Structure 1
């Protein structure tokens, strides 16, 4: 199957874009939560906030961020 560059011709384009928008870089996640990037790094290492590596870039899922913010582990 050949996928076109234009989403208007690609029936899967919208689903692919929605899935891609569910992941943030550390900078985007920090902006989303209104904290510094250093705080994001600290949370991933000290409080086990999960992230994945895509090439040389780390990504954090929006669902993991939202779950972490609601977890008792985050409550300080």
Structure 2
């Protein structure tokens, strides 16, 4: 996989972690989450380059805190 593209993805992943950490102050405790979709294919199997971060959460209440379309902040 192209190292430059992987570095860009890693920066995006760091931003996703910051988002998850900051959302902890707003909603119920988020103790588990997992990768999904193309993110899994890229990280686990090197199948393709993913241009986004697919994070799966066990509680649908979290969608309002993590999805920019549903979050006013």
Higher strand proportion, which one?
A: 1
Higher helix proportion, which one?
A: 2
- What TM-score does the superposition give when structure 2 sets the normalisation length? 0.31
- What TM-score does the superposition give when structure 1 sets the normalisation length? 0.30
Higher gyration radius (CA): 1
